[in-house]
A and B are shown apart, each in its own frame.
Chain A
Amino acid sequence: MALTAENVNSIAYLARLGIDEKDVEAYAKDLSGILDLVEQMGSVETEGVLPMAHPTDQPQRLREDEVTEHDQRDYFQKLAPQVEAGLYLVPKVIE
């Protein structure tokens, strides 16, 4: 499977991941190589095999619906690049 530069640009956009224009070709080559490696999976028949999402087959645990976390907004927001009045600020979205 060979990916083109155009493919790389559209995957990168899906992931909201900036890639330098000068590096796109190199990524296309590397990713195509990885996909070739991955293609080897096709050599084994998997009809009827149950996909394995997880190493342990345990069900999701449930817990009592009780408050276990207390409000630490101010503490956590100290880490943020930009906050105001308890809100996280991002560039303007709505005109």
Chain B
Amino acid sequence: MSEVDPKELRIVGFLCNWCSYGGADTAGVSRFKQPTDLRIIRVPCSGRVDPLFIIKALLNGADGVLVSGCHPRDCHYSDGNFYARRRLEMLKRLLPFLGIDDKRFHYTWISASEGQRWQQTVTDFTRQIHRLGPLHSDKEAQP
């Protein structure tokens, strides 16, 4: 997308198979254009996402991490996303203590029919990461 810096940054996305991965597919089928920085990892449920994956990604070179699952109460596995929400909310508060701006991590809920919302989320998050620039943990704002 033109508004986003053509030089790519490294963004990792964990998407649940049933809702958000489907939503990203729907965006594709509808040809909703998106920035190209994001790399998607498919997981069965947002509840499968271990916060340590996110920390590992951020410490090993990712500039941002996005997690997306089913809307609360619409989880394919009943309440996997409730577990995800608790863990990820904790993680968000923990990140500054690791010297990482918590704006580099975002979690959201997108259903399989919400292609447009997926496009918007990817575009907004990518723009946010570009605003923050590449992650050098030593230069990041301290809490």
A binds B: no
> Which A residues form the contact surface with B (CB < 8 A)?
none
